[in-house]
Amino acid sequence: MIVAAVQLNSTADIDRNLERARFWIERAARAGAELVALPENFAFMRIEGSQNLAAAPLEGRLLSFLQSCARELNVVIAGGTLPELPPGEKLPYNTSVVVDRDGSVRGIYRKIHLFDIDLPDARLRESDAVGAGGEIVLAKTSVGTLGLSICYDVRFPELYRELTSRGAKLLMVPSAFTVPTGTDHWEVLLRARAIENQCFVVASAQHGVHGPTRRSYGRSLIVDPWGLVLARAADGEGLAIADIDFDRQEEVRRNLPCLQHRRIASSDRVLPVSHLSRTRSS
């Protein structure tokens, strides 16, 4: 099965972002891709400290865009993330939606781990502008079962082990990794998640300068269950595209059955944000 990870340079211009996303989804479909993954914040890249003007209920323009692309191009779309603001909520969620070929929604995941850092030379607090999700989500699609995650989640291996335990064959990691962390950690973390879970990892990324304070690393990757990088996007907009083989995945799991040797059971409980905050400060 051919899989494509789309790399974008999104800004605060929603019309322009959707036009670029559509362009690359079409390119991927013409190349034979059955699954196309978009990056985090594909439709709107908020400038740090500003209001998220694109935040809206899930049933709206951005979901309609994903559904129309999926139906017209006959592809499954892992829709990066969009800012979802449910009625009555104060903060939007950073939400990933998976849409099948017929336009049906197969999975809705709200980012659990939020990127909060406070260093002498950098202060980024995603939790000031985004609500934390609390549910582990699989998307069962016509091309396979996807385990959903977003960007900073990749630093928390227990999430991916739980997704794998529940049947994920592909782990989706739409991201907007910063340049300093991306340079040293991006590929290492993605390959580690692939190796330890014997899963394919599809990591679609933002690249380049988005505004005065935002610059993303890029280098979208597709990694196989042995940890080999099958495809890597160059700098700028583009695609990482690869032909993945589920038989190869089963061979890896047969020959190195580490998933069957686990002696520590995982928990399906997601800790509340208040507990996480206490843990970080302790």
**Across-strand partners of 241?**
4
CA 203 centroid distance within chain: 6
Structure token pair of residue 142: 């016509």
Query: What pLDDT was estimated at residue 282?
Result: 29
Handedness of CA 141, 89, 68, 201 (dihedral sign): negative
> Looking at residue 212, which CATH number applies to its domain?
3.60.110.10
The CA-based angle 241-83-41, given to 5 degrees, is: 30
Strand, helix or coil at 201? Answer: strand
Query: What pLDDT was estimated at residue 183?
Result: 94
Q: Which domain holds residue 272?
A: 2-281
Domain count of the fold of the chain: 1
Segment (H or E) for 241? strand 238-243
Please count the CA atoms within 13 angstroms of the CA of 53 that sit on its side-chain side.
9
Active site residues: 40, 111, 151
CB contact at 8 A, 219 and 208? no
CB contact at 8 A, 181 and 187? no
CA 99 centroid distance within chain: 14
Please count the CA atoms within 13 angstroms of the CA of 137 that sit on its side-chain side.
24
The whole-number mean pLDDT for each consecutive block of 10 residues of the chain, a chain of 282 residues, reads 98 96 98 98 80 86 98 98 94 97 98 82 76 97 98 97 97 95 96 98 96 87 98 98 97 95 73 46 30
Taking the complete model, does pTM exceed 0.85, yes or no?
yes
CB contact at 8 A, 182 and 207? no
